[in-house]
Amino acid sequence: MTSSGTVSAAGTRISRHDDVLVAVISGELDMTSVDGIAATLFDELGTGPGGMVVDLSVSFLGSSGLSMLLELYRRARRAEIGFALVAVEAAAVRPLTASALAHVLPVTGSVDEALALVRQNRD
């Protein structure tokens, strides 16, 4: 929720870089927005892309968002689809670090780094 009391819902913008899907999540990724974002990302993962990069350009990342990212990573690994996160904003870096998920999930500092990691891991 913003300081004015209005809800800032998360949104997802999807693009492709060759066969790698890049999803940019913006806004607040919390229990009120995670279901819609998860459905979109799980559906996209189901299409069998060559890899998936999730750019966390969020203003808030709650525990439900962290759980969704962990499940997305698990599904990608099970399907042998390369996966990486981009986390630059403090709103994404802090919860990933505090939860120790930054040591579990492949986290990078840019989309270019994430694309290189995804491509390297599948070769």
CATH number reported for the structural domain that contains residue 76 in this entry:
3.30.750.24
Among 4-8, 24-28, 94-98, the minimum mean pLDDT is found in 4-8
Q: For the residues 80-94, what does the mean pLDDT come to?
A: 97
**Quick check: is 4 in a domain?**
no
SS3 4: coil
- Specify if 1 maps to a domain: no
| Rounded-to-integer distance, Cα 28 and Cα 45, Å | 22
Q: Is 37 inside a domain boundary?
A: yes
Q: Is 61 left (phi over 0), alpha (psi -120 to 50) or beta?
A: beta
Q: Do 86 and 117 contact (CB within 8 A), yes or no?
A: no
On whether residue 44 sits in a domain, the answer given is yes
**What strands lie across the sheet with 82-86, from one edge to the other?**
11-17, 20-29, 51-61, 82-86, 107-108
**Structural domains counted in the chain:** 1
Domain that holds residue 61: 11-122
Q: Rounded to whole angstroms, how far apart are CA atoms 77 and 27?
A: 27
Q: What is the DSSP letter of 50?
A: S
Is the residue at 90 inside a domain?
A: yes
Tokens 């997802």 label which residue? 12
**6 belongs to a structural domain:** no
Q: Are 13 and 23 in contact (CB under 8 A)?
A: yes
Q: Residue 42 has what pLDDT?
A: 97
pLDDT, the chain, mean: 92
The pTM is what?
0.91
In whole angstroms, how far apart are CA 87 and each of 1, 46, 72? 21, 23, 16
Q: For residue 59, is it within any domain?
A: yes
| Domain membership flag for residue 5 | no
